[in-house]
Amino acid sequence: MTQQERAVRTRHALICSAAEEFERHGYIQAKLSDISASAGVSPGALHFHFENKAAVAATVEASAGVSLRREAWLAQRPGMNALQRLTNTSHALAERLRRDVVARAGFKLSYEAPHDSGPTLHQEWQVCVRQLLAEASDEALLIDGIEYSAAADGIVAATTGFEMLGRDDPAWFSAATLTAYWRLILRSVARPEILRALEPGGSPTRVEGHRSPIGCVAHDSS
């Protein structure tokens, strides 16, 4: 193994270890010494890769963002209407969060860690929901009188609430819970003729067994 390969492996181990510490203890309570020890490297090796805890947290959140955006992209296909794309995207992101500690820690750090600039992962999700519902409105998919912005706010609040509640009780963030939620919401916002073609449990969109190269998918939240 080359020195560069060892460095890449060490950095990945530190990201996974940090994600576990941030998820378990939160940003404030997590300790760099515990992160390096769990990764099996010295404190000096950690500081070679990361200047401080804020830099570690920023890298975990950035890694989570890359994997979650990839999941969102894979959840869609050409010709799919905006409401199905939104439903599929929520299921894909939820699946990633259930099985990947880096994704879960990244979302948690969106609330807890300091941010110098740029949108957090929660803010990116809000933008995504609003954009897809705006497209649904333009496509005449919504019931007359539905304000897409108000619907977006409600969906963002509910789905991020599921993510937070799911940290203590995984049933809150299960595929079954999310499907039941979409079954209710789609009935409330979609035109009847559109509703009949929608799949609240998500529609097949990608090759089974896909795993993004970024993340630590051996861990899950159950």
Mean pLDDT by groups of 10 residues along the chain of 222 residues: 86 96 95 96 93 95 94 87 96 94 94 80 94 96 95 95 90 94 97 96 63 44 36
Distances (CA, A) of 65 to 26, 132, 193: 18, 19, 35
pLDDT at res. 222: 34
pLDDT of residue 205: 62
Delimit the domains of the chain by residue range.
62-195
C-alpha–C-alpha distance, residues 63 and 101, integer Å: 11
pLDDT of amino acid 54: 94
Q: What's the CATH fold of domain 62-195?
A: Tetracycline Repressor; domain 2 (1.10.357)
Query: Is 70:206 a contact under the CB 8 Å cutoff?
Result: no
d(C-alpha 5, C-alpha 174), whole Å: 37
Of 192, 166, 173, 82, nearest in space to 129 by CA: 82
Q: How does DSSP classify residue 118?
A: S
pLDDT at 51: 93
User: Sign of the C-alpha dihedral, residues 112, 118, 121, 126?
Assistant: positive
The full length of the chain comes to 222
Q: How far is CA 216 from CA 32, 93, 134, 189, 210, in A?
A: 19, 15, 34, 36, 14
Kindly report the backbone phi and psi dihedral angles of residue 190, in degrees, each rounded to the nearest multiple of 5, phi listed first: -90, 145
Contact 149, 168 (CB under 8 A): no
Distance CA 102, CA 115 (A): 18
